[in-house]
Amino acid sequence: MPEIVLQGVTKRFGSVIAVDNLTARIRDREFFVVVGPTACGKTTLLRLLAGLIRPDQGQIYFDGVLMNDVPPQARGVRMVFQGQDYALYPHLEVYHPRRWSNLSFPLKLRRERPEGIQARVERVVRRLGIPASWFARRPHELSEGQKQRVALGRATVLTPKVFLLDEPLAHLDPPSRAQARAELRRLHAELGATTVYVTHDLAEAFLLGDRVAVMREGRFVQVGTPKEIRDHPADAFVAEFVRAYEEGLRQAFGP
Ligand SMILES: Nc1ncnc2c1ncn2[C@@H]1O[C@H](COP(=O)(O)OP(=O)(O)OP(=O)(O)O)[C@@H](O)[C@H]1O
Ligand SMILES: [Mg+2]
């Protein structure tokens, strides 16, 4: 699925430079993790890739095709949004084969017939382990982990070419996170989508990423495999980030 290339991409909000002259190449089918502190521009980067906002400068290419003016629905991109509600539709139930519901929504938009909707949703609920007992519930009647699963389901009923995940595990307890990480890797392997995953947690980045980009103030300060970043931090900022992470491990497990 597509290779993503960013060339000198900049996005400003007034005087804030959220993404600053960013150049990067994300490989076909890669699980690419962007990690960095709050406000460094992670969500803005995903919104640029999704086409929800347009760069002020620079180019975004999918497989060599310029995407700057391609609308979100024509990009083959799906995004799982950050936050407590994952942008689920609060007034809609989890799934109903004929009515508008969270899982059927993207399919209803495409005017799929009920049989087609059912077939696709069945595949997704099986893949993600969403039991039928949740179908009639609305998002506020679900736990965080359950909502996250439904959000992943909604994002994958139409198989995405590019899959964007904005801190999807931030609200889960550690054992659920570990399980969800394993599921995400499996989902990635099944979908074969080029995946960009955003987190502020370096441990998560190291556990999930084929490659990791450390982001600071709108730029990537280092892109590499987890091992490259851990063993050869590119600058003092990355070194400190890695040191804090290792210190956490030492406090938990001893030297
Ligand atoms: N729509 C907007 N209008 C004005 N400023 C914005 C807007 N979106 C983002 N910003 C600013 O751009 C910068 C980057 O924001 P962004 O949401 O991309 O950060 P982030 O890395 O996702 O942070 P977090 O980890 O807290 O989610 C911040 O300074 C933010 O205040
Ligand atoms: Mg964010």
Site to substitute for ligand 1 among 17, 44, 220, most atoms within 8 A of C-beta = 44
Q: From atom 29 of ligand 1, which residue's Cα is the shortest distance away?
A: 39
Confirm or reject: Cβ of 182 under 6 Å from ligand 1.
Answer: no
Q: From atom 18 of ligand 1, which residue's Cα is the shortest distance away?
A: 41
Q: From atom 6 of ligand 1, which residue's Cα is the shortest distance away?
A: 13
Confirm or reject: Cβ of 44 under 6 Å from ligand 1.
Answer: yes
pLDDT digits (tens, 9 = 90+) for 142-158: 988 899 899 999 999 99
Confirm or reject: Cβ of 83 under 6 Å from ligand 1.
Answer: no
- Which of 2-11, 187-196, 241-250 has the weakest average pLDDT? 241-250
Count of Cβ atoms closer than 10 Å to residue 205 Cβ: 24
Q: pTM higher than 0.85, yes or no?
A: yes
pLDDT digits (tens, 9 = 90+) for 202-211: 999 999 999 9
Confirm or reject: Cβ of 218 under 6 Å from ligand 1.
Answer: no
Compare 53 and 127 and report the one with higher pLDDT: 53
Confirm or reject: Cβ of 216 under 6 Å from ligand 1.
Answer: no
What whole-number distance in Å separates Cα of residue 152 and Cα of residue 159? 11
CA distances (Å), origin 184, targets 22, 46, 129, 209: 27, 18, 13, 11
Closest CA to 171 of 198, 145, 193, 138: 145
What whole-number distance in Å separates Cα of residue 235 and Cα of residue 255? 24
Site to substitute for ligand 1 among 10, 33, 42, most atoms within 8 A of C-beta = 42
Residue 169 pLDDT exceeds 90: no
Confirm or reject: Cβ of 43 under 6 Å from ligand 1.
Answer: yes
Q: Are strands 16-26 and 4-13 parallel, antiparallel or unpaired?
A: antiparallel
What residue ranges do the domains of the chain occupy?
Answer: 1-76+161-255, 86-159
Please say whether the structural domain 1-76+161-255 has been given the CATH code 3.40.50.300: yes
Which runs of consecutive H residues, i.e. helices, occur in the chain? 42-50, 105-109, 114-128, 144-156, 174-191, 202-208, 226-231, 236-253
Q: Are strands 57-62 and 65-66 parallel, antiparallel or unpaired?
A: antiparallel
Residue 87, classified by CB atoms within 10 Å of its CB into exposed (0-12), middle (13-18) or buried (19+), is middle
Q: What separation in Å is there between the alpha carbon of 110 and the centre of ligand 1?
A: 31
pLDDT digits (tens, 9 = 90+) for 77-124: 999 988 777 889 999 999 998 899 999 999 999 899 999 999 999 999
The token pair at 235 is: 């600058």
Give the ligand 1 atom nearest the CA of 218.
14
CB 67 within 8 A of CB 43: no
What whole-number distance in Å separates Cα of residue 193 and Cα of residue 227? 23
